[in-house]
Structure 1
Amino acid sequence: MHIGSRNDGSAPPREGSHRLKDELYALVRKDPAVFEFLQNGSLDGMWYWDLDSPDDEWLSPRFKSLFGYADDEMPHTTAWWQSNIHPDDLAVVQANFEKHKADPAHPFDQIIRYRHREGHTVWVRCRGLMVRDPDGTPRRMLGAHTDVTALKQAEEALERRTADLEARIADLEDKEQRLETQAEELVTLAENLEDARARLEELNAQKDKFFSIVAHDLKSPFNPLLGFSELLAVQGGALPPAKVQEYGALLHRAATEAFKLLEDLLDWSRIQLDRVQFDPGAVDLVGLVETNLGRYRLAAQAKGVTLRADDLETLCAYGDPRMLDTVVRNLVSNAIKFTRDGDEIAFASRADGDVVVLEIRDTGVGIRADRLPTLFGLGSRQSSKGTGGETGTGMGLVICKELIERQGGTIAVESVAGQGTTFTLRLPSA
């Protein structure tokens, strides 16, 4: 092909243009081979549509080969592409055609799908420009195709891989969540096992202590029983009445101690085996205290101890009346046991939110600080003689704690040796 020079008499380039651009445009107009080179080298097909005769459309050979056809196998009409374009994309093309027709500034540019001769899909970027009369009436339309199938396939592959990756991430997150849940369950199980182990150790300790009590403490009261009864059986006829009476009193005391210990052991064992009937209801604290004041008034007077109930409020606790009576009875009995002539035992009650509080205070001998932490435990059961020589089994406070906790309450103790003791019961309000 021949490229002309400025010496051929051609007009100088227009202002704002470039001489080589103008030269190229002139070559395209002058030499068809240049146009063929451009459309074959940079596009995947061209089309030129007669809008005055809508069935007529020139389709370039490269347009046809993109879909698997030779130049002579596809007619120059609109019928082929309108029947082989994806129905959804045909609607898009028609909509953009109308918009571009009405407004030249609206681009005719979309990615559409065609059916290849062999059945697979070819993705094409289809761009077009309407050729209009001076009055703006569309007469022709020039279009160009660019094959973007590889790009769309890569895009779809990326989407599939992204979806697969997201699914794997979701699966990993789900597995992580399940592992966290299992870890939490294992921690809870370990904690439960530890609690169960601690409880088992506690029960074993209680069992060992129980057998120790049965083997030693329950046996101890029977030694004087056996000794004095044998003495009476062998020498009873030769003993003076006063001696027989003395031995009889000792026998009675030993029998009473044995019976009380046996009774406490049975109560404790029934509680452990959950064989104590629990029949809760509203319990009047004033009535509960007054019952025990009447029960122990003479015993307190005998020791010169004053019983006071000046600070009782009219309150009701929710609990089993028999169990609560057992608790108060034990605490009052203990208070009398460890008070002296001139001391006093006072009762007080108050409301604290949804809890009622009952306090039993005495000004007795108190409890040593080293004994307070284990005061309610069977494993550290200790029994001290009272100020009047009274004895006990050492199980009363153990039973009190069990009974109070069975009712959803708590029992606490404060004491100063030589100054007195306060037991505080906290129970659900009725």
Structure 2
Amino acid sequence: MQHRLEQELYQLIQSNADIFEFIEHSSLDGMWYWDLEMPEHEWMSPKFWQTLGYDPSEKQHLASEWQHIINQKDLQVAFENFTKHCEDPNHPYDQVVRYTHAKGHTVWVRCRGIAIRNDDGQAVRMLGAHTDITELKHTEEKLLETIKSRELFFARMSHEIRTPLHGIIGLTDILKEKNKDTELSLTLETISACGDQLLTLLNDLLTLSKLNDDKLSVSVEPVPVNEIINYVANLYQARAHAKGLEFKVSGPKRIEQLAIQTDKIRMTQIISNLVNNAIKFTSSGFVELKVVTQEQNVLISVIDSGRGIDDVDGVFKPYQQENQNREDEAGTGLGLEIVNRLCGELGHGLDVQSEAGVGTSVAISCPLILRAQRIDSGDSDQEESQTEKQMQFGKVLVVDDNEINREIANSMLQGHCSHIDLAADGQEALAFSILNKDYDVILMDLNMPVKDGYRASTEILSLTNLKKEPTIIAVSADAFDETIEACKQVGMHQHLKKPFTKRHLFKAIEQAQSVES
């Protein structure tokens, strides 16, 4: 015998074009029709019950029947949406809910509905459709698992590459400082440049991964232009000269007065990629890093005398390169794709001008936020180097399970500390702290056996008999945002990612101590 609500629904479908359209456009795995004037009565189509593994003939078409097998949190959400839809027809009744199948497993269902109203606009009936999306949910879960596995892979890859790279860059930096032989200096500069190139490639891969997963975070703030220009110039000048290219840097006379609104790390990555590409694709002539002001913007351009680009749009696609078969111009094809997407994230303008056989100019446009007064962006390299020689950090504890890393930090700190202790894990670091009680600085690796850097830092900072609270700097090959935030949560004062040079180390200590004071 046909239920009265089922009979009423058939008549309604035949007489109401809107209801027919609703049903026509719904992908159905069951329908329901609810009497809001007698809310205990709700007709559910046989297919709905079959989807959940129940015998429809055993059901009495009571609202309580489905309310007992729906996830209770989802039921609350459904009722909230139901109330809002009854009050406002423009508020959609559409949500995903979980039901318990007769065999005990979860069935994911998209539940949509539309209120049938009387002449006064009051909701008197509710017509709805169910769509089983369980398979879609399982696919989504597998995709999320794949993404998590990929993130874990990139994190491990980053750590495993950064650790030996720190040995190469760190030891080279130490040798460069101690070496007096001109010929050997050129060799050390080449090793250093190769290490920097490998680090740039690693950073590009990690950035692209974050961009693809929409997990890239940017921190926009005033950044002195000359900080970025000087860093990139120092990084690539030797490489350009080694290829026989003139490397030029040009800009306003008082460039130190210019600042842009940007993310310093990402903007440096953008300019580094552009200069790297310019050197790679220029066989003779020059590469120029140029800064000009233009009304309320600063234009940072990378100009070269290379062979030019035939397909300007194509080079911004991932994994694409012109003349991919040329071995002397091998690469990943990621550089300009990253430049393009980072400019989009930062809201910076990007303009490319190129002529075959003449060269290419790539200009980045950034908001100019300050030019009336000097920004304290640090001294020149020579002044910085002189300041480094005078730095003193007191008593320092270096904590790292890698012996090479301990020796690198120890060598960099020699002559700048009253005393240096070396610990191989967090437990040793805690023991040293209990014994000595007066460290000024602790360089703390994070991933160590016995006791990791997080636990060690927490326990050291909780010691009540310390003569002073040490400045703890996390030193890790893990450079992900989550790691940096975790370091802050346990009370560490700064994060320094491997690989680093002596200058990076001293700057990190100085910044951490200045924030504390």
Shorter chain as normaliser: what TM range? 0.3 to 0.5
Structure with bigger helix share is: 1
Larger Rg: 1
